[in-house]
Amino acid sequence: MASYVYRERAGSGASAPLLFLFHGTGGNEDQLFDLGEHLLPGGRLISVRGDVSEQGALRFFRRTGEGVYDMDDLALRTAKLADFVAERIGPTRPQQVMGLGYSNGANILASMLFSRPELFDAAVLMHPLIPFEPEPEPGLSGKRVLITAGRHDPIAPVAATQRLADYLERQAAEVDLFWHEGGHGLLAEEIEAARPFLGQS
């Protein structure tokens, strides 16, 4: 069984939608929990703590430099986290299983979409950076993905964000791309863009 520290809130019923939350570098299971409650009232929430430390800052996988990923570690951590997600979903799947990740959390969520697309019905990727070309994945067809990004983000450049959106569209995913004029921080307008997206059934 894959082991993580996590925080959970029960949903309003057995069929309540389930939202997994994945924090950014230096965050923890509390970073996005209130945001999840705001975006999905009545939903079941599971907010996961990354198990990699980068000089004391928690992450979900290792890197060797800014925007340079340890691809072997990414593969191992993605498989481990995907197993955890599958275990938490359990034998009776809710009406919707969704993921929301910010920065490093968005990157690990995207990596799970590439390798285990059956886990999620929809995903919100906030300021992701995928500095590699994923393999084609037919299982992404019909998956709903919202990408939110800043046009002046020094960590997740515009071109890289657009490449990710283009890749997902080539896999026949339903992609919404929301831009704002800010940088890498989360702004109110992108948070509000996620609310109706997650509220779709």
Respond yes or no: is residue 153 known to be catalytic. yes
Looking at 103, 111, 121, 127, which residue is catalytic? 103
DSSP, res 31: T
Long-range contacts of 58-66 (CB under 8 A, 24+ apart): 58/23, 58/25, 58/26, 58/27, 58/28, 59/25, 59/104, 60/22, 60/104, 60/105, 60/107, 60/108, 61/104, 61/107, 61/108, 61/111, 66/155
Looking at 111, 127, 153, 180, which residue is catalytic? 153
Helices 71-89 and 104-115: crossing angle, nearest 10°?
Answer: 80
The residues assigned a catalytic role are 103, 153, 184
